[in-house]
Structure 1
Amino acid sequence: MTSSLPRVAVIGTGGTISSWAQSSLDTMDYPEFGAKRPVDEILEHVKEARQVADPLPVPFRSVGSTAIGPADWVELRELVHATAARQPDLAGFVILHGTATLEETAFFLNLTLAIPQTVVLVGAQRPASALGSDAGINLVNALRVAGSPLARGLGVLVVLNDEIHAARDVVKTSTYRQHTFRSLDFGALGHVDGDGIHIYRAPTPAHAPEGEFSALGDIVLPRVDILMSYAGADATFIDAAIAAGARGLVSAGLAPGLVTPAERVAYERAVASGIVVVQCTRAASGRVGRRRYLQEAGIIAGEDFSPQKARILLSLALARTDDTAEIAAIFARC
């Protein structure tokens, strides 16, 4: 018998949403002392998932998101593409992910996926075993969004706490609170309420399936490091990153995108040696503009990207070109 519900692939990577603690009151120690359940067990635990979708479990990882990095992003992209090719009837994808690096995985996929189906990343702030866990409702809402025609064409999405966010804009803002994921400058795309999915705006920069790097084949990401500015910062960490082989540097500068005098000398030296430098800010929100000094120094303005997202964009750009002007144009249009 054919289900009338949308068929949605659910990829498990682990994270809090897949975690089981030793006590229902444990909302803090489970990362080190609990266990990660495979995706099929999580779907069996959240029986309401099958009331809103026909889920297809796809195992990938069972780890905390602190263990997920660039090599995993590339493999996850390949898995999504391969699954979409094998299962053309899929309405969408849900990726269960830890919240620590969820925004980074989502942004990479938003820039590189080339499938028409909606892809939603979802996590939780409390493990699935906890009293008052948000894992179940977040999973159900993610399935509703991934299977809805209303979400098509919005790029990769992040769904938690009844909110729908664009992968480009969303950041984690709180360690334990359930409203941790926010799009600080532009707001959520929409909400998931009891009466349905409500979309209020659409992202305008290029996004999946027509993102800046959706046509890339094999992706090899060069090393890019992030350096945070602070009062009295010198060149120590900048020089260390260069010595470690970084081809690009992201400065998480003092708001609105400034560095100390010693850092300024070090970044100018890095640019002169052929290393691409992007100026961001350590502030939680706001844009780094293309001011005169940055242009004359050959440093790229990081726009409104967080340092961690600028790192991803710069790494992908460097996989294509070393030309600073071209990379600056990529930042301006993404």
Structure 2
Amino acid sequence: MSAKPKVAIVGTGGTISSVGRGPLDLIDYSATGQVLDVNGVIARVPELALVAEIVPVPFKAIASTAMAWAEWKELVLICDRLAAEHPDLAGIVVTHGTASLEETAYFLSLTLKIPLPVVLVGAQRPASALSGDGPMNLVNAVRVAADPRARGLGALVLLNDEIQAAREVTKTSTLRLQTFRTADFGVLGQADADEICWYRKPLRRLAPDTEFDVRGLDALPRVDIAYTYAGADGAAIDAFVAAGAKGIVAAGFAPSFVTPAMAVALEAAVASGVVVALSTRAGSGRAARTTRGRNAGFIAADNLTPQKARILLSLSLAAGVTDHERIFATY
């Protein structure tokens, strides 16, 4: 009988690690303040031993609302260390809260420097819930991370038996189990009970073959998001510039328009040296390249959501890139 694949599980907290007041506490469970570390999560899923040899890696048992640059960089370094310490490692799973899971996944998909699959997994119901989705999600994430076909696809997201690309997936529902969706292109594959099934591959450039290396950085350039709505003025944009923003992503009306007042403020921001990227609040489709946008010096964020466009623009600025249009066309 062949040895089971070795998979590391890095625990970062979130709903998948949370313990509520009882099996029907599905919403206000964070009020208990009880969050399991990675060993506690693994102990609740003994079935993991059926599919892999597990290497638990404690991190920070925090809500994903608290995840940001410092935690992202630390995760990159942890993945570096795991690959070096375990040459027989098949893959890495990162447990994560669903609030910002897609942002962490995209950051890792752009910045990791290891060839191993990295799969982010979360849950919509806490560890204490009746019919919690976390245990099966975790088992399937380990199965995907151990699959050699998961290599070369960037960071992946696994919930509800579905394998999604980090660049394209987004959370679409507050409470439903099928919350993570890729609106324009669909899943990469599925984790079925009998096998892991793959159907497509991402074409955009992915880690580890990227021009972004954050391991020597102390911080990322500040990039903010300005949300467009009827009657919006330029106050938020002016405030971002005053706060030191090096870039601003406009979450515009589909297919990327902003109000006249926002346009004036964004044009002034460009004139002051701030890079402005036009995205859309629609959640699907490409941001349009318009004559006015080009003339104003705005760049188009392709089909990235505003939160992911922010990450890519910040990394582009950190890398000293001047042709940001190329970056958005490449990644």
Matches within 5 A, 1:19-98: 19-98=18-97
Counterpart Cα distance in 2 of 1:312 and 1:161: 26
- TM-superposed CA distance for 1:211, in Å, is 2.9
1:59-118 Cα deviation digits (max 9, x unpaired):
111011001111211111111111211111100000000000000000000000011110
- 1:57-206 to structure 2, matched below 5 A, reads 57-206=56-205
Question: Which secondary structure does the structure 2 equivalent of 1:91 belong to?
Answer: strand
- TM-score, with normalisation over the residues of structure 2? 0.97
- Among 318, 323, 328, which residue is 2:325 paired with? 328
- The Cα shift of 1:33 comes to 2.2
Q: Cα 1:322–1:242, aligned 2, differ >3 Å: closer, same or farther?
A: farther
> 1:233 corresponds to which residue?
232
Q: Is 2:279–2:306's contact at 8 Å kept on the other side of the alignment?
A: yes
How many residue pairs get aligned? The number is 330
The DSSP-based 3-state class of the residue aligned with 2:46 is coil
Q: Which segments of structure 1 move beyond 4 Å, counting only runs of 4 or more?
A: none
Q: Secondary structure at the match of 1:269?
A: helix
* Distance (Å, rounded) in 2 between the aligned partners of 1:24 and 1:156: 32
Distance 2:215 2:59 in 1: 21
Distance 2:215 2:134 in 1: 34
Give the SS at the match of 2:225: strand
Q: Any idea what SS the aligned residue of 2:186 has?
A: coil
Amino acid at match of 1:218: G
Identity of paired residues, percent?
55
Compared CA separation, residues 44 and 3, structure 1 to 2 (3 A): farther
Structure 1 unaligned segments of length 5 or more: list them.
Answer: none
Contact 1:249-1:278 at 8 Å conserved across structures = yes
The CA deviation string for residues 224-281 of structure 1, in whole angstroms up to 9 with x for no partner, is 1001000000011111111111110000011110000100100000000000000000
SS at 1:41's partner residue? helix
Partner secondary structure for residue 280 of structure 1: strand
Distance 2:191 2:44 in 1: 21
1:261 and 1:189 mapped to 2: Cα distance?
40
CA contact (8 A) 1:22 1:34 kept: no
Structure 2: 5+ residue stretches without partners: none
Distance of aligned partners of 1:17 and 1:138 in 2 relative to their CA distance in 1, 3 Å threshold: same
1:10-25 matched pairs, under 5 angstroms: 10-25=9-24
* Alignment partner, residue 265 of structure 1: 264
Deviation at 1:149, TM superposition (A): 1.1
Is the partner of 1:48 in helix, strand or coil?
helix
Q: Write the distance in 2 (CA, Å) between the matches of 1:146 and 1:37.
A: 22
Aligned partner of 1:103: which letter?
A: E
Amino acid in structure 2 at the alignment position of 1:327: H
Equivalent-residue separation in structure 1 for 2:233 and 2:288 (angstroms) = 24
Tell me the secondary structure at the aligned position of residue 59 of structure 2: strand
Q: Secondary structure at the match of 1:286?
A: coil
Q: Which residue of 1 aligns with 2:216?
A: 218
1:126-148, Cα deviation, whole Å (9 max, x unpaired): 00110010000000000000001
- Report the TM-score when normalising by structure 1: 0.96
Q: Does the CA contact (< 8 Å) of 2:98 and 2:122 recur in 1?
A: yes
Alpha-carbon distance between aligned partners in 1 of 2:2 and 2:307, rounded to the nearest angstrom: 41
The answer to whether the 8 A contact 1:234-1:263 is kept is yes
- The amino acid that maps onto 2:141 is A
SS of match in other structure, 1:144: helix
CA contact (8 A) 2:287 2:303 kept: yes
In the alignment, the residues of structure 2 paired with residue 109 and residue 103 of structure 1 have an alpha-carbon distance, to the nearest angstrom, of 10
